[in-house]
Structure 1
Amino acid sequence: MLDPTQPIALFAEATMGKLNAKMAEGILRYGRNPVMAVIDSTQAGKRVRDLCALDSDVPVVATLAEAQGLGAQVLVLGTAPSGGRLPPEWKDVLEQAIAGGMSLVNGMHDRLHPMFADKLRPGQWVWDLRVPQGDAPPIAMARAASLPNTRVLMVGTDMAIGKMTAGLELTRSLTDMGHDAAFLATGQTGIAITGRGIPLDAIRVDHAGGAVERMVMEAAAHKIVVVEGQGSLLHPGSTATLPLMRGSACTHMILCHRAGMDTLDELDSVRIPPLRDVIALNEAVAHAAGALTPAKVVGIALNTARLSQAEAAAALKATEDETGLPTADPVRNGALRLAQAILAAR
């Protein structure tokens, strides 16, 4: 596992500042480890703050050797190509890292440990984040519905919409207010940041709900758990939201949306319905026509990263007027309003 004191480098070749580098940005924003450099030869010479909305002075370098020269001991694959498969052209860099004594953190579906196991020296390791740990989970049986705590699920209008970021900010706001809240990671970036969780998209569909349920049951002592969302009920390629709802038996939801989005990011043919209809859909599916735990959407996390301050303020007000729910951009303004909405609805 990744020791939080180890200096790391983030590999984000040709993607830093783009949507595919969300793991790199997540670790830069919330990670515990000192980041010595981001590797992206197309942006070398810049700083992180030049490429994305992060006030970070971390340098962007062209090569692995430069990152090692700055003190990096661990190479984290900070970008996710389409399908989560390892590009063949990355293999040379990974081999250089292993030969140079670095450890690897891998968020791809392709496993790296079998590839490099016979080349690892004492103290050197490979962490494949998308490998489920432990025994196969049991089938979900709505066990979490019996818990007396508050279980908040982050849901969204699309993939890569900011569900993890909003969830981390919400958890931070709740804990800052003195409440016993825990963030439960369900994807590779969340696992890399918190050091624990489940790689939901790598778990067999029959066991996915059970994996979520087991994780929530293990966190039962916390008064509030915030479950990282994945996918969207609107996306034809996503199956992740249903096991999250079933396994967590969520009591509340926060809907995540990007301001100005009318269609899915990569599917222009799929229109995003009015948010009131999206809210109704998520509530209906969570409740399962009265068979399962009712869960209300109690707030909107609106991603306004692409807007000016004035445009963001107008978008937040318009969304709040449209839905009648407290709305906040957790990164730009903090998640206090969303935390207050959760507490008021308990």
Structure 2
Amino acid sequence: MLSPDAPLVLLQHGGLDNLSGKTGLAMLRYRQGPIVAVIDPAHAGADLQALTGIARAVPVVADMAAALAYGPAVAAVGLAPSGGRLPLEMRADVVAALQAGLCLASGLHSRLAVDPEFAAIPLAPGQWIWDLRHEPADLEVATARCAALPCRRWLAVGSDMAVGKMSACLELQRAAQRAGLDARFVGTGQAGILISGQGVALDAVRVDYAAGAVEAAVLAAAQGAGADAWVLVEGQGSLAHPGSRPLPLMRGSQPTDLLLVHRAGQSHVRTRPGAAAVAIPPLPELIAACEALAALGRPDGLRPRVRAIALNTALLDGGEAAREAEQIAAITGLPVIDPVRQGGDQLLQALFEAPIAG
């Protein structure tokens, strides 16, 4: 739906300096196609790199009228607000975008295509509204078809939600492509899908069909891939989190290998305020659980292993990050690398040195 070369304007109202804007911030960091402007009235005129730390030169403007001067073709909602509803302060710019002939891409739970105000605006030929967070049509129950694929399939598994599984996969894909490797990414959340232009929004799929939806997305991404290709599947949630469902990803993708993603220093999963505290088990125990579950429900007899740990050290300084990585490597016996801080090349090298799944 979203072509990789379409010039985007990001609707980032109030989200350039906090986690509510994580979708747009991820697009700024990882989308390879053009982002011509960012709309955030609170930071209009600011230097994007100074504000976000993202090395990308994009003007920050106050509204859609100002953004149109930069020639966008698509407006993408960059916020992930609580409840997944379109913020009221964004509506006027969405209307302006549609009236100007721009396409609209959104990963919110609220469906913008059926919103009465937006639906009343006639769309020009070729203009579309893409509500990506919906269940794909013609879903089937998974049947382990991905096990027959010749390519290597890496599934990111986390110690918690929102620890950097997508970022680890995308950093790894960048490094692999620089090295001349055929590396493909399967997005399973709104940011990953908006960045890659395809995938499946796992949290919009009924549980009976969730593994089948992942299976279909991986098969589509792996079409024509040979034995030397890598398919990197964005993980969701964690086995340690009481409110997530990572098992459909294991069943649907039939991974050959696992990549554990963990936030340095985090001891408990993050749940809503007032909920009971849930501890993250010692990483060797979590690794064993992930490997045991990934070995079930597959026809090929493979026992996928965690080959490395992608460590999110964003909250630590350089010395603290190095010490934490050394400690985790000592207790797990695995390479421990922060692919965002250190770049994906070191992680790629560690995974290249890992044995072929068996």
> 1:118: Cα distance to partner?
4.6
Answer yes or no: is 1:316 the counterpart of 2:325. Answer: yes
Q: Is the 8 A contact 1:75 1:105 kept in 2?
A: yes
CA 1:320 to 1:182, structure 2 compared with 1: closer, same or farther past 3 Å? same
Aligned match for 1:128, one of 125, 128, 131: 131
Aligned match for 2:296, one of 288, 301, 311: 288
Q: Deviation per CA, 1:31-53, whole angstroms, max 9, x where unpaired?
A: 13322222222233322222323
Aligned to 1:6: 6
Q: Is the 8 A contact 1:252 1:342 kept in 2?
A: no
CA–CA distance in structure 2, aligned partners of residues 135 and 184 of structure 1 = 19
Q: Is the 8 A contact 2:163 2:262 kept in 1?
A: yes
Aligned to 2:244: 238
Aligned to 1:345: 355
> 1:293: Cα distance to partner?
4.1
Aligned to 2:39: 39
Farther-moved stretch of structure 1 (255-264 vs 215-224): 215-224
Answer yes or no: is 1:209 the counterpart of 2:211. Answer: yes
> 1:83: Cα distance to partner?
3.1
> 1:75: Cα distance to partner?
1.6
Structure 2: any 5+ residue segments left out of the alignment? none
Partner SS state of residue 340, structure 1: helix
CA 1:73 to 1:215, structure 2 compared with 1: closer, same or farther past 3 Å? closer
Q: Deviation per CA, 1:270-322, whole angstroms, max 9, x where unpaired?
A: 22222222212211221239986421111011112222222322222222223
Structure 1: any 5+ residue segments left out of the alignment? none
Answer yes or no: is 1:84 the counterpart of 2:84. Answer: yes
Partner SS state of residue 269, structure 1: coil
Q: How does 1:99-248 map to 2 (within 5 A)?
A: 99-115=99-115, 116-119=118-121, 120-136=123-139, 138-218=140-220, 219=222, 221-222=224-225, 223-239=229-245, 241-248=246-253
> 1:117: Cα distance to partner?
4.2
CA–CA distance in structure 2, aligned partners of residues 319 and 54 of structure 1 = 28
Farther-moved stretch of structure 1 (178-187 vs 283-292): 283-292
Answer yes or no: is 1:277 the counterpart of 2:274. Answer: no
CA–CA distance in structure 2, aligned partners of residues 199 and 29 of structure 1 = 20
Aligned-residue RMSD, C-alpha: 2.3
> 1:225: Cα distance to partner?
1.3
Q: Is the 8 A contact 1:264 1:272 kept in 2?
A: yes
Q: Is the 8 A contact 2:14 2:21 kept in 1?
A: no
> 1:266: Cα distance to partner?
4.0
CA–CA distance in structure 2, aligned partners of residues 51 and 269 of structure 1 = 33
Normalised to the residue count of structure 1, the TM-score between the two structures is: 0.90
Answer yes or no: is 1:333 the counterpart of 2:342. Answer: yes
CA–CA distance in structure 2, aligned partners of residues 142 and 3 of structure 1 = 30
Q: How does 1:40-55 map to 2 (within 5 A)?
A: 40-55=40-55
CA 1:164 to 1:295, structure 2 compared with 1: closer, same or farther past 3 Å? same
> 1:6: Cα distance to partner?
3.4
> 1:242: Cα distance to partner?
0.4
Residue type of the partner of 1:229? Answer: G
Q: Is the 8 A contact 2:8 2:36 kept in 1?
A: yes
Residue type of the partner of 2:306? Answer: V
> 1:145: Cα distance to partner?
2.3
Aligned match for 2:306, one of 297, 304, 312: 297
CA 1:108 to 1:66, structure 2 compared with 1: closer, same or farther past 3 Å? same
> 1:164: Cα distance to partner?
0.9
Partner SS state of residue 54, structure 2: coil
Partner SS state of residue 189, structure 1: helix
